[in-house]
Amino acid sequence: MYDNICKFLAENFPANFATWLVGQPITLTELSPKELSLEPIRADSIILLQSNELILHMEFQTDPDRKIPFRMADYRLRGYRRFPHKRMYQVVIYLQQTDSELVRQDIFTLEETYHRFQVIRMWEQPTEVFLQTPGLLPLAVLSKTSNQARTLQAVATQIEAITDKNVQSNVAASTAILAGLVLEEQVIKSLLRRDIMRESVIYKSIIEEGREEGREEGREEGREEGVRLVAVNLLKDGFSFEVIEKATGLTIQQVQQLQDEITQTEN
């Protein structure tokens, strides 16, 4: 979920991310991993933006991943194959603090092959960088701050000042989700206004996902209850446990339990 939120931010605020990572507000457009030929590796986590001269390749990670160096080298070669005239800036951004040495790996080597990429550990980044533009505000609470709650309060104040309601709601919802990596839910709720978030496409997507999960759970419960009723009726008609097992997919132990429940009810 967290890397998807970062992907949403990068694709909706590309100039903000270009300023932070490349050092200038380059106009960037989305580049599909499919355009780099071959089957993409974990395409849902790959963020590719491009200009006429540059490809910006970002990956956000909550946990260390030993496959990252190879993936960066692989995508660099894919980028060169498709756009040999463009330079490629690659960066892995780790969101959650860890002592793992994997988050310090910025080189891929294989015999005489050598490839280097950039690594950013959010907990080492100065907070003020993320308080300057709307698209980076949600990342501020993950930065090098002595007081995460106070930083979130500063972010909330800036969110209140955003005049575009769609931008405001999306930034607020993104901030709330990413803040969950470092702050308790009650703290987040006390500092960010829920009414602002409700219009966010992110918020609506999470709500709809929850509803779908609920509907799926309901359907599953309905199926289980249906199987149970069939088994009970077969037991009352005198069928053997083995026949009921084959007919319903229940185990012998489950059928025995149903028989015990029937016996108790009748007594």
pLDDT tens per residue, the chain (267 residues)?
787 888 889 989 999 999 999 988 888 888 877 777 655 455 456 788 999 999 999 999 999 999 999 999 999 999 999 999 999 999 999 999 999 999 999 999 999 999 999 999 999 999 999 999 999 999 999 999 999 999 999 999 999 999 998 899 899 989 998 998 998 888 888 888 877 776 666 656 555 555 555 555 555 566 677 778 878 877 876 777 877 787 678 888 888 888 888 888 776
What is the model's pLDDT at position 207? 54
Q: Are residues 131 and 53 in the same domain?
A: no
What is the model's pLDDT at position 142? 96
* Length of the chain as a residue count: 267
Distance of CA 228 to the CA centre of its chain: 37
| Token pair in block for residue 152 | 């979130």
Residue 107 lies in a domain: yes
What is the model's pLDDT at position 157? 94
What is the model's pLDDT at position 134? 94
Alpha helix (H) residue ranges in 115-147: none
Domain count, the chain: 3
What is the model's pLDDT at position 206? 57
Residue 172 lies in a domain: yes
Domain containing 240 equals: 217-266
Q: Are residues 152 and 100 in the same domain?
A: no
Q: Are residues 82 and 31 in the same domain?
A: yes
What is the model's pLDDT at position 205? 58
Residue 209 lies in a domain: no
Q: Are residues 234 and 191 in the same domain?
A: no
Q: Are residues 226 and 188 in the same domain?
A: no
Q: What CA–CA distance (Å, rounded) separates 73 from 251? A: 50
Given 124, 148, 164, the domain boundary residue is 124
Three-state secondary structure call for residue 183: coil
User: CA of 17: how far to CAs of 27, 130, 142, 209, in Å?
Assistant: 10, 10, 16, 28
What is the model's pLDDT at position 45? 65
Kindly give the pairing relationship between strand 113-116 and strand 118-121.
Answer: unpaired
Residue 204 lies in a domain: no
| Token pair in block for residue 238 | 């005198």
What is the model's pLDDT at position 185? 82
Q: Are residues 133 and 117 in the same domain?
A: no
- The values of phi and psi at residue 262, to 5°, are -65, -45
| pTM strictly above 0.85 | no
Residue 87 lies in a domain: yes
- The values of phi and psi at residue 31, to 5°, are -125, 120
Q: Are 81 and 123 in contact (CB under 8 A)?
A: no
Q: Which residue pairs, CB below 8 angstroms and at least 24 apart, start in 100-109?
A: 100/64, 102/64, 102/65, 102/66, 102/68, 103/61, 103/64, 105/66, 105/68, 105/69, 106/69, 107/69, 108/69, 108/70, 108/72, 108/73
